[in-house]
């Protein structure tokens, strides 16, 4: 069965979730474009949106409509060509509305897993839990055709483990979209031992159609992205513990967050990033990975304490940031969570922030914020100058930043040495495309 044939009946499991909704949008767009091809106009296309929450499915449909409008607006030239035989569609807004209506004809929301029984392609985007995923995939294996292919969006669980436990016989591949899937260009493709070659070919082809950057990762818990991110976060946490000999807890968190954002020129600080992902999610991934790396301690008491005190981070349904390590106003951090008092301490409260900033010092000459350098044609040259000045600086911020850069490189090189990534370029590619870093961890700057 070709990919075009498989795309006539697709299911997304966990469709109302943060990842599932984005995957559903991408598939709705591609399936509708397929349906509009002259050779496919007599075919029936079904996108089965499966989720336990009826309210979540209603929210999904509300999300899909404006997103499909945006897609149609951006692609109006090609859509005008696809609808060229429709004499009743003249104005752009008419074509846009028709595309949205056509896309909605394919949608089949359901709270029952049975809704996926006729799917040729199933995308699993449910909770990051081995037992739950195995139970759902096993049930799907009983419901669906023996030729159905499965894509799992797991970000950390070994794919072969899921395949073997669910009895999928090489019909499961790792397809790790980054959040949000509709915007992020990266997909980590994890190909386990024994996967069917045609499944991998379909995964690569679908990536091209969805305009994604596909980077292969080997089937090792955490893969490339979380393999680096978890250890990167644990480094920051270990530095917090060291800093607490001279600073308060809230100052130590603030310092490492500012160093990892400003001095490393990243889009956000490490503790903001953990908040964005969700502190409970970060804990979950650590718990999944830890047994596979007995020589390391992929565990954090600080993370456990944050989860125990219900400071979890993550996002509200409208995309705004929930409070975690930081409290947020208009998605900007304004206070730090104090574990000892279980309250948020404002940046404006007392002099703790001013004292921390004075001790950190300013970034060295040549510093420009991440946003300023993002599309700068002279970015590489400016980064080279900046990091040379960083190495010559002796401020606390510079020392912490250099230690951070060296640890980040060590983590990345070990991912290559251990066979998680095939090359340094693949590790750098994941950090550049999935985390929006301006430079990869394996670089000439340090």
Output the six-digit token pair for 418. 């251990």
Angle between helix 159-166 and 130-143 (nearest 10)? 50
Alpha helices, DSSP H, located in 87-211:
92-105, 130-143, 159-166, 197-209
What per-residue confidence (pLDDT) applies to 53? 96
User: Which residue range is the domain that position 253 belongs to?
Assistant: 225-434
CB-based burial, 245-254: b 16+ in 10 Å, e otherwise: eebbbbbbbb
Q: Give the CATH number, domain containing residue 255.
A: 1.10.1040.10
Shared domain for 206 and 261, answered yes or no, is no
Shared domain for 334 and 350, answered yes or no, is yes
Shared domain for 277 and 178, answered yes or no, is no
* Whether the Cβ atoms of residue 307 and residue 279 lie closer than 8 Å to each other: yes
Report yes or no on 444 lying in a domain: no
Scanning the structure block, which residue is given the tokens 């397809």? Answer: 175
Q: Give the CATH number, domain containing residue 177.
A: 3.40.50.720
Shared domain for 249 and 292, answered yes or no, is yes
* Whether the Cβ atoms of residue 313 and residue 277 lie closer than 8 Å to each other: yes
Report yes or no on 445 lying in a domain: no
* Cα angle 280-228-421, degrees, rounded to a multiple of 5: 130
Rounded distance between C-alpha atoms, residue 362 and residue 323, angstroms: 27
CB-based burial, 45-67: b 16+ in 10 Å, e otherwise: bbbbbbbeeeebbeebeebbeeb
Angle between helix 301-308 and 279-289 (nearest 10)? 140
* Whether the Cβ atoms of residue 232 and residue 408 lie closer than 8 Å to each other: yes
Report yes or no on 195 lying in a domain: yes
What per-residue confidence (pLDDT) applies to 317? 79
Rounded distance between C-alpha atoms, residue 138 and residue 419, angstroms: 29
* Whether the Cβ atoms of residue 236 and residue 268 lie closer than 8 Å to each other: no
Report yes or no on 83 lying in a domain: yes
* Whether the Cβ atoms of residue 17 and residue 51 lie closer than 8 Å to each other: yes
Last residue of a domain, one of 217, 249, 269: 217
Output the six-digit token pair for 302. 């600080």
What per-residue confidence (pLDDT) applies to 263? 98
Shared domain for 137 and 73, answered yes or no, is yes
φ and ψ at residue 217, rounded to 5 degrees: -130, 145
Report yes or no on 323 lying in a domain: yes
Shared domain for 13 and 46, answered yes or no, is yes
Shared domain for 253 and 380, answered yes or no, is yes
Cis peptide before 240 (omega within 30 of 0): no
Shared domain for 290 and 358, answered yes or no, is yes
At 213, is the secondary structure helix, strand, or coil? strand
pTM of the model: 0.94
Q: Which residues contact 59 (CB under 8 A, 6 or more apart)?
A: 16, 317
Report yes or no on 442 lying in a domain: no
Residue 238 burial (CB < 10 Å; 0-12/13-18/19+)?
A: middle
Report yes or no on 230 lying in a domain: yes
Residue 357 burial (CB < 10 Å; 0-12/13-18/19+)?
A: middle
Shared domain for 229 and 209, answered yes or no, is no
Report yes or no on 441 lying in a domain: no
Shared domain for 262 and 168, answered yes or no, is no
Q: What is the total count of domains within the chain?
A: 2
Beta pairing, strands 186-190 & 172-177: antiparallel
At 163, is the secondary structure helix, strand, or coil? helix
Shared domain for 154 and 253, answered yes or no, is no
What per-residue confidence (pLDDT) applies to 318? 81
* Whether the Cβ atoms of residue 67 and residue 28 lie closer than 8 Å to each other: no
Chunked mean pLDDT (size 10), the chain, 446 residues: 97 96 98 96 97 97 97 97 95 98 98 97 97 98 98 98 98 96 96 97 97 98 98 98 97 98 98 97 97 96 97 89 96 96 96 98 96 96 97 97 98 98 98 97 92
CB-based burial, 176-195: b 16+ in 10 Å, e otherwise: bbbbebbebebbbbbbbeeb
Last residue of a domain, one of 160, 187, 217: 217
Query: How many C-beta atoms surround the C-beta of residue 268 within 10 A?
Result: 17
What per-residue confidence (pLDDT) applies to 144? 98
Output the six-digit token pair for 138. 């096993």
Last residue of a domain, one of 194, 217, 240: 217
Shared domain for 7 and 124, answered yes or no, is yes
Phi-psi region of 50 (alpha: psi -120 to 50; beta: other; left: phi over 0): beta
Using only C-alpha atoms, the chain has a radius of gyration, in whole angstroms, of 23
């Amino acid at each position: 069965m070709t990919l075009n044939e498989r795309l006539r009946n697709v299911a997304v499991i966990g469709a109302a979730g943060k990842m599932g909704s984005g995957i559903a949008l991408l598939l709705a767009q591609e399936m509708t474009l397929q349906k509009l091809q002259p050779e496919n106009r007599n075919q029936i296309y079904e996108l089965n949106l499966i989720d336990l929450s009826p309210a979540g499915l209603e929210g999904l449909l509300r999300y899909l409509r404006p997103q499909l409008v945006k897609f149609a607006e951006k692609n109006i030239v090609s859509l005008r060509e696809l609808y060229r035989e429709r004499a009743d569609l003249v104005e752009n807004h008419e074509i846009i509305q028709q595309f949205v209506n056509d896309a909605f004809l394919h949608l089949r929301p359901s709270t029952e897993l049975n809704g996926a029984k006729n799917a040729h392609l199933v995308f699993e985007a449910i909770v990051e839990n081995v037992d739950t995923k195995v139970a759902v995939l096993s049930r799907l294996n009983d419901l669906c055709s023996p030729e159905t292919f499965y894509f799992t969006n797991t970000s950390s669980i070994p794919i072969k483990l899921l395949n073997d436990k669910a009895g999928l016989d090489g019909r499961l591949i790792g397809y790790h979209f980054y959040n949000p899937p509709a915007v992020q260009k990266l997909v980590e493709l994890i190909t386990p031992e024994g996967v069917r070659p045609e499944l991998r070919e379909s995964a690569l082809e679908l990536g091209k159609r969805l305009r994604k950057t596909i980077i292969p990762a080997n089937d090792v818990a955490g893969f490339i992205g979380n393999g680096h991110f978890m250890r990167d976060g644990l480094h920051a946490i270990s530095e917090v513990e060291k800093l607490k000999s001279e600073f308060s807890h809230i100052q130590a968190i603030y310092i490492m967050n500012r160093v990892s954002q400003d001095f490393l020129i990243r889009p956000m600080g490490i503790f903001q990033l953990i908040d964005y992902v969700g502190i409970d999610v970060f804990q979950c991934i650590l718990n999944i990975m830890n047994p596979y790396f007995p020589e390391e301690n992929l565990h954090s008491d600080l993370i456990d304490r944050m989860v125990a005190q219900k400071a979890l981070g993550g996002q509200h349904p409208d995309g705004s940031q929930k409070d975690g390590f930081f409290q947020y106003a208009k998605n900007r951090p304004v206070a730090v969570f104090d574990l000892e008092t279980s309250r948020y301490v404002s940046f404006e409260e007392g002099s703790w922030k001013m004292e921390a900033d004075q001790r950190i010092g300013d970034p060295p000459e040549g510093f420009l914020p991440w946003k300023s350098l993002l599309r700068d044609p002279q970015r590489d040259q400016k980064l080279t100058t900046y990091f040379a000045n960083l190495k010559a600086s002796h401020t606390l911020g510079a020392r912490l930043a250099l230690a951070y850069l060296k640890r980040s490189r060590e983590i990345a090189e070990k991912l290559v040495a251990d066979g998680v990534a095939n090359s340094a370029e693949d590790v750098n590619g994941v950090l550049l495309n999935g985390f929006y870093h301006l430079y990869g961890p394996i670089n000439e700057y340090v």
